[in-house]
Amino acid sequence: MLVEGLTRVATYRRKVSASQQRVWENVRDWEHLPWLHDRSFSALEHLDSGDWGWRVELSPAHSKTQKMTLELIIDADESRYVARTIAGAGEGTEIWTTVTPIDADRTDIEVEFHLPGVPPDRAAALGEALTTLYTRLWDEDEQMMMLRESRLASRARPLEGTLELGTEASVRKELPLEVEFAGRPFRLAELDGEIVVYSAICPHLLGPLGAPDPSGRIQCPWHGHQFDLRTRRSCDGRSARLLPTPELAIDPETRSVSLRAG
C-alpha cells in the first residue's frame, strides 16, 4: 500500500509459529513493550486504550531524554493495524502490519514501514535498520506467544503424583532450583531459612517467574508484575495470586524432599 506524503522504505515478511488469536492478543498488549522489549524501550506511560487499539508514551532504551507518543489502531475486521508515531522521536512514521492466518498454529505477518521526509539516498539504510529491529521484536514476541500457547494447553491437566528431589542437603545446594511436576514448572527457593515451592508461571498471562530477590519478591519479565513470596499475592495491589503448588514435604527421619499433589 502507499501512504500519502510518506516513503515506504522497506517491507518485512515472516511466518510466526502462533495462532491468529495469540497474535492479536499480543498486538493489543501494550503493557509488555518496556519489559519484553527492554532492549528497545526503557519506560512507558499508558495514555488510552480500547477496542480500537491503544496510545502510549514510550522512552527509547538508547536515550534518557527522548520520548515518543505511539498510537496503534486496529482495523475493524482485524486484518491489519497501523502504529503511528504522533509525537516525539520519529513523528509522522506509520508502520502498517497485515495479519493473515495460515492454519491453527501459524500466522503470516507483513509489515510496511512508511517514513516522512526521507532523502532518496537514506531510504535503503533506514529500511534495513527497521527490518533488523522488527526481526528482533517479532522474535521476542513469537517466543512469548509460543510459550503462552503451550502453557494454556498444560494448565488444564491436574496435578498428580509425587516427585522425589533428593535429600534436604542436596536440594539446598541447588537452590534456587526449577523442577517440572505434572508437566508444569515449579521453583524451589530459600525464604527465611526455609525451603519453599512456588509456581514458576505468572498468573497474569502465564509468563516465566524467576528466583526471588532478597526481599522475597519475584517478577515476571513479560510485563513486570511482582509477587510477594511470603503472602503469594501481587505486590502492587492487583487481585492476582501465585498459582497453586504441590505440597513440599521433608521426611523427618531421612530428610528427603518431595513434591506431592494435594
pLDDT per position as a tens digit, 189-207: 999 999 999 999 999 999 9
pTM as predicted: 0.91
Whether residue 147 sits in one domain with residue 81: yes
Maximum CA pair distance of the chain?
78
Evaluate whether residue 148 is within a structural domain.
yes
| Domain encompassing residue 177 | 162-260
Distance (Å, whole) CA 132 – CA 193: 47
Evaluate whether residue 188 is within a structural domain.
yes
Whether residue 145 sits in one domain with residue 172: no
Return per-residue pLDDT of the chain as tens, 262 residues: 777 889 999 999 999 999 999 999 999 999 999 999 999 999 999 999 999 999 999 999 987 788 999 999 999 999 999 999 999 989 999 999 999 999 999 999 999 999 999 998 999 999 999 999 999 999 999 999 999 999 998 877 788 899 999 999 999 999 999 999 988 999 999 999 999 999 999 999 999 999 999 999 999 999 999 999 999 999 988 889 999 999 999 999 999 999 999 7
The domain boundary, picked from 154, 172, 199, lies at 154
The domain boundary, picked from 127, 154, 181, lies at 154
DSSP conformation class of 64: S
How crowded is residue 166: how many other Cβ atoms within 10 Å of its Cβ?
A: 13
Whether residue 142 sits in one domain with residue 44: yes
Whether residue 135 sits in one domain with residue 79: yes
3-state secondary structure 112-148: EEEECCCCHHHHHHHHHHHHHHHHHHHHHHHHHHHHH
User: How many CA atoms lie within 13 Å of 185's alpha carbon, on the beta-carbon side?
Assistant: 17
Whether residue 228 sits in one domain with residue 206: yes
Amino acid at 10: A
Distance (Å, whole) CA 58 – CA 44: 5
The number of folded domains in the chain is: 2
CATH number of domain containing 22: 3.30.530.20
Which three cell numbers, joined as nine digits, stand for 16? 510466526
